[in-house]
Amino acid sequence: MIRPVAYTGYLVGGVLVGAPLSVGLLALGTLGAALTPVLVGLPLLGLLALSGIPVGILERRRVAWLDRPAVRDPARGDPHGHTPVDPHRTPAGPGLGPWARLRFTEQATWRELAYTVLLAFVLWPLDLLVLAGVFAVPGALLTAPAQLALSGGETRVAKLWLVDGYPQASLIAAGGLLLLLALLWPLAFYALARAALARLLLAPRETEARLAEVTESRARLVAAFEAERRRIERDLHDGAQQRLVALSVRLGLARLDAPPELADRLAQAHREADEALVELRELIHGIHPQVLADYGLGDAIADAADRSAVPVETDVELPRFTEAVESAAYFAVREALANVARHSGAARAWISAGCTAGDRHGRRLWIEVRDDGRGGSVPPGGAAGRTGGSAGRAGSGLTGLADRLAVLDGTLAVDSPPGGPTVLRMEIPC
C-alpha cells in the first residue's frame, strides 16, 4: 500500500535531522582534532564516537512511526511489526563510568556511529534529491493555472512550455498530477530502502539479542543461587545447629546424674553430638563462610589458606566486590587449594590477587595460585596454557573451577609443564 504522506514525512525528517547533524559532526570532529594535542580534544572525540546513540534512538523511533500504520498483527497485539528495538545492554552498575565502558565495547555503538556518518554526509542529500525530483517538476506543472493568473497574460511553466491560456494550463496541470502519481512509486521504494538500511544498522543482531538475554538470565540465576545458598546456611545455623547445641547440653547435664551403667553410653552420645556439631559447622562454613560476608574476599582467602592441608603464603589486598564475584572467587580458590593438596604433591603453595585497572573489558579481579608440585595438569576445554600432554592429570576439579568462573564471564589459565611449577590464573570481571 502506497502511503505518500508517511513516506514523504520520513524523508523530510531525514533532511531535517541530517542537515544540522552534518554541521554538528564537522564542528565537533574539527574541534576535537585541533584540541587533541592539549588533551582537551579527547573528551570531544569520545563524545563524537557516542553521538550515534541519540541519533540511533531518534532513527529507531522514526522507523517505528513509518511502520506502525502499515504492519499490524492483531493476533499478537503487536502494532509495531518489525520495528527495531534498542540493541544496547543495561550496564552492570550505576554511574557514567560503567555506562561509558559498556557503550564503547558494544558493536551496536559503532554501527550507530556508522549510520550517523552516513546520514550526515550521504543519506540526507539523497533524501533531498529524491524529494526534489518527485515534487519539483510535478509541482511546477500542477501550479500552471496559478502561475498564469499571477503573470496576468502568459507564463513559462518549468521554464519549458509557454502557456497563454487556461485550457492549456489546465492540461499541463493534469499532466503534472499524473506525473506526481507515477513518481510516488519510486518515492515509496526509496523510503522503504532507507528504512531497511536503518533497521540493518540500528536493530540488534539476533546473536546479540540472544547473548544479552543469556547474560541477563545467567546473572539472575547466579543471584538466585547465592540467595538460596544463604537461605540454606541460615536454616542450618538457626535450626539444626541450635538443636545439636541444645542436645549436647542436655546430654552433658544427663551425665551428671546418670547411674554408672548409663554414664559410658551418655558420654559416647555426648561425643557423637559434639562431633556432629563440628561437622555441621564445617558444612555451614563451606556453604558460605561468615568471614566472607563480614570482612570480604581478602580475609576469606587468608582463612582458606590457613585451613589448607598444604602450607600457603598469601599476598592479597583487595577491595570489596559484589556478593556473586566474591563468592565465585572464594570457592574457586578453595577448589584450587583442594587440587593442590590432592594431586600436586607440592610442599608449599602461594596465592596472590589484585584488581586490574579498567580496560576495554572493564575492571577485572585476578587471582594466581602457584605450587611447587610435579606439574602436568591438563586444563579443561577452553582454558589456556601449556600442559604436559598425555602425562598430565586431567580432573573434574579444574573443569568445575572453569565452569564456576565462566558463569560470571571469568577465565581460567593453566600453566603446568611436567616437573612444575603449576600456576592457575583466574580472572573475573568486577
CA distance 251 to 380: 50
Query: Which of 56-60, 342-346, 373-377 reaches the highest mean pLDDT?
Result: 56-60
Higher-scoring residue by pLDDT: 407, 326: 326
Higher-scoring residue by pLDDT: 155, 105: 105
Percent helix, strand, coil in the chain, to 5, is 65, 10, 25
In the predicted model, is pLDDT for residue 249 greater than 90?
no
Q: What confidence tens digit (pLDDT) does each residue in 263-272 have?
A: 777 788 877 8
- Beta partners for 352? 315, 368
> Residue ranges of the domains in the chain?
4-204, 227-287, 292-429
- Average pLDDT of the chain? 78
CA distance 358 to 41: 21
Residue 286 has a pLDDT of: 59
Q: What value does the mean pLDDT take over residues 346-373? A: 81
In the predicted model, is pLDDT for residue 383 greater than 60?
no
Residue 123 has a pLDDT of: 93
For residue 258, what is its C-alpha cell? Answer: 546418670
CA distance 403 to 364: 17
Residue 38 has a pLDDT of: 80
Please name which of 417, 312, 411 lies closest in space to residue 367, comparing C-alpha atoms.
411
Structural contact between residues 190 and 107, judged by C-beta atoms closer than 8 angstroms:
no
| pLDDT class of 226 with cuts at 50, 70, 90 | low
Residue with cell 546520514: 119
CA distance 12 to 25: 20
For residue 92, what is its C-alpha cell? Answer: 552492570
Residue 225 has a pLDDT of: 63
Sheet architecture: strand order including 312-316: 312-316, 349-356, 364-371, 422-429, 411-415
CA distance 309 to 45: 55
In the predicted model, is pLDDT for residue 280 greater than 80?
no
Residue 388 has a pLDDT of: 37
Residue 20 has a pLDDT of: 94
∠ CA 418-422-348, rounded to 5°: 115
Residue 77 has a pLDDT of: 38
CA distance 181 to 138: 9
Residue 158 has a pLDDT of: 63
In the predicted model, is pLDDT for residue 369 greater than 70?
yes
Structural contact between residues 414 and 424, judged by C-beta atoms closer than 8 angstroms:
yes
At the fourth CATH level, the homologous superfamily of domain 292-429 is Histidine kinase-like ATPase, C-terminal domain (3.30.565.10)
CA distance 195 to 81: 13
First CA to last CA distance, the chain: 52
In the predicted model, is pLDDT for residue 19 greater than 90?
yes
Task: Report whether the peptide linkage leading into residue 429 is cis, meaning its omega lies within 30 degrees of zero.
Answer: no
For residue 38, what is its C-alpha cell? Answer: 592539549
What contacts 89, CB < 8 A, 6 or more positions away? Answer: 102, 106, 212, 215, 216
Tell me the CB-side half-sphere exposure of residue 404, using CA atoms within 13 A. Answer: 21
SS3 47: helix
